Amino acid sequence: MKILALLVSLSLLVFIHELGHYLFARIFKTRVDKFYLFFNPYFSILRAKKIKGKWQLSWFSRKSPESFTEDETHTEWGIGWLPLGGYCAISGMIDENTTSADQLSSEVHPWEYRSKPAWQRLLIVLGGVIMNFIGALVIFSMMLFYWGQETLPIQNATMGYDYTEVALKNGFQNGDIILAVNAQPVYEMQDAVEKLLLDESSSCTIKRGVETIKIDLPKDFAKQMISANAKQFASPRFPFVVDNFALGSIAQQNGMKIGDSIVSINGILTPTFTDFVQEIAKHKSKEVSIEYFRDKVSKRVSFTLDENGKIGAVARSPYLIFPTKEIEYGFFESIPAGVAQGTQTLINYVKQFKFIFSKEGASQLGGFGTIGNLFPSSWNWSIFWNMTAFLSIILAFMNILPIPGLDGGHVMFTLWEIVTRRKPGDKFLERAQMVGMILLFALLIYANGNDLVRWLGGKF
């Protein structure tokens, strides 16, 4: 299911990206030779082209039919077999599809990319990035319109939070409630995390029991979090209220019902779900006595656990226990809210990017395995669209980096031409393209190599 979600998401994003290049090319009357979803070395699953007003299709072909090559005015649309991206081959442009200047004819035609003014070429190159960013804003907006927004204010989680090991080593304690970061009040955990990790704040004010305490954090706190590969900074502590049962649940077989609230195991108090999980793990294949409340009446049940130490009960979400903040958006209200969310997501990602150049950040780079693990193992439309919008932001930002082989490389050379009024030669662009592709392939190998190492180490 993760593979399917990743494939569908990336396919959609690649299509949107290449469509941006295509649309701007057509606006400026530039010929597009091919438009492909997925790469097609050696053969294509599908080739389609409009010839004399009629569409012609070619399935599982090694090369374009003669009728396709005879008509150069229309675009060949296709689906490749290698799902690692896609491409939009623009006539007269040196890119990953035309890597040699010798492949370009000496005569410059008016429909070619290289014949267009610099400002038009700049927009053609930026088309993919623009469409990806707009696509993310549209997705965020429609999600807010359809589902609205529900958050759990920090102080509404009255039992406090459980913190990751790195946070605990730096002064936090489970049950703490964050009040402010660098003396600035915070109301949502996401805001607190952004300030602590992305803005590299140095202090945190917390509520611990009835006391208010200030924690001073080291400058490398964010790098410690990255190095530890911490999945989550903090999660709310909540009581174990049974919300459902797994098939064959031993707890259900012994009379427990939905709504029961578990408070102890063998006389040891387990006020939170985390406490219960930690305590029950000590009693695998042993008899346990579980105390719980039903309609404010204390009850007790005893049974023997299996070797997994599970009782087969699903805990109720803290979002159904503590008061949440819900916002519903009308259609026109969702648009500015979606734009704000997309813009903030981009800002946060740019802030994170600086960690890539650190030892800790480089070690956490990941490839398709890491991206795939962002999706859940069961299909969830809300998470799917949220991750797709997030990946669209990443794709837009990564493509605008000034690296030959990416859109940002073409932007860099085009801006140079606009400023200096000197156009880089085709041979120079060819060499720069080759260097950029080598760098990108090296990065791809390194990132996916990290995934392989983590997989072999059992960290996936």
SS3 label, residue 375 = coil
**pLDDT at residue 459, rounded to an integer:** 54
Distance, first Cα to last Cα, the chain? 15
Cα separation of 282 and 8, whole Å?
42
Distances (CA, A) of 124 to 108, 260, 276: 18, 61, 58
Cα separation of 292 and 46, whole Å?
61
Q: State whether 342 and 451 are in the same domain.
A: yes
**pLDDT at residue 15, rounded to an integer:** 93
Alpha-carbon dihedral sign for residues 62, 68, 73, 75: negative
* CB-based burial label for 3 (10 Å; 0-12, 13-18, 19+): exposed
Last residue of a domain, one of 111, 137, 172: 111
Distances (CA, A) of 71 to 17, 75, 108, 343: 26, 9, 19, 43
Q: Is residue 204 part of a domain?
A: yes
Q: Is residue 323 part of a domain?
A: no
Closest alpha carbon to 430 in 85, 87, 97: 97
The residue behind tokens 């990065």 is: 443
CB count within 10 Å of CB 30 equals 24
Last residue of a domain, one of 315, 338, 357: 315
Closest alpha carbon to 372 in 83, 45, 41, 38: 83
Q: Residue 165 maps to which CATH number?
A: 2.30.42
**Do residues 78 and 64 lie in contact, with contact meaning Cβ atoms separated by under 8 Å?**
no
Residue 311 has which token pair? 């009782």
Structurally, the chain folds into a number of domains equal to 4
Q: State whether 180 and 198 are in the same domain.
A: yes
Q: State whether 228 and 244 are in the same domain.
A: no
Instruction: Look at phi and psi of residue 285 and say left if phi exceeds 0, alpha if psi is from -120 to 50, else beta.
Output: left
Distances (CA, A) of 33 to 60, 74, 399: 19, 7, 22
Structural domain harbouring 48: 29-111
* CB-based burial label for 378 (10 Å; 0-12, 13-18, 19+): exposed
Q: State whether 171 and 129 are in the same domain.
A: no
Q: State whether 233 and 302 are in the same domain.
A: no
Q: State whether 52 and 175 are in the same domain.
A: no
Q: State whether 387 and 265 are in the same domain.
A: no
Q: Is residue 15 part of a domain?
A: no
Q: State whether 162 and 231 are in the same domain.
A: yes
Q: State whether 168 and 258 are in the same domain.
A: no
pLDDT by residue for the chain (460 residues), tens digit each? Answer: 888 888 899 999 999 999 999 999 999 999 999 999 988 888 899 999 988 888 999 999 988 888 787 777 889 999 999 887 889 999 888 766 654 555 666 678 889 988 899 999 999 999 999 999 999 999 999 999 999 999 999 999 999 999 999 999 999 999 999 999 988 999 999 999 888 888 877 889 999 989 999 999 998 888 888 888 777 899 999 999 999 999 889 999 999 999 999 999 999 999 999 999 999 999 999 999 999 999 999 999 999 988 888 899 999 999 999 999 999 999 999 999 999 999 999 998 888 877 776 766 666 667 777 777 778 888 889 999 999 999 999 999 988 988 887 888 889 888 988 898 888 877 787 788 788 778 877 877 877 787 677 677 655 4
Q: Is residue 22 part of a domain?
A: no
Q: Is residue 295 part of a domain?
A: yes
Angle of helix 118-147 relative to helix 407-420, nearest 10 degrees, comes to 140
SS3 label, residue 188 = coil
Q: Which amino acid is at 380?
A: N
Q: State whether 343 and 420 are in the same domain.
A: yes
Alpha-carbon dihedral sign for residues 368, 370, 371, 373: positive
**pLDDT at residue 99, rounded to an integer:** 47
Closest alpha carbon to 163 in 196, 211, 198, 202: 196
Last residue of a domain, one of 237, 255, 286: 237
**pLDDT at residue 104, rounded to an integer:** 64
Q: Residue 297 maps to which CATH number?
A: 2.30.42.10
Q: State whether 132 and 155 are in the same domain.
A: no
Instruction: Look at phi and psi of residue 2 and say left if phi exceeds 0, alpha if psi is from -120 to 50, else beta.
Output: alpha
Three-class secondary structure assignment of 435-452: HHHHHHHHHHHHHHHHHH
The residue behind tokens 């259609």 is: 331
Q: Is residue 34 part of a domain?
A: yes
Q: Is residue 5 part of a domain?
A: no
* Residues linked to residue 86 through DSSP beta bridges, in sequence order: 37
The residue behind tokens 């490749």 is: 80
Q: State whether 36 and 61 are in the same domain.
A: yes
**pLDDT at residue 405, rounded to an integer:** 78
**Do residues 176 and 161 lie in contact, with contact meaning Cβ atoms separated by under 8 Å?**
yes
Q: Is residue 457 part of a domain?
A: yes
**Do residues 390 and 345 lie in contact, with contact meaning Cβ atoms separated by under 8 Å?**
yes
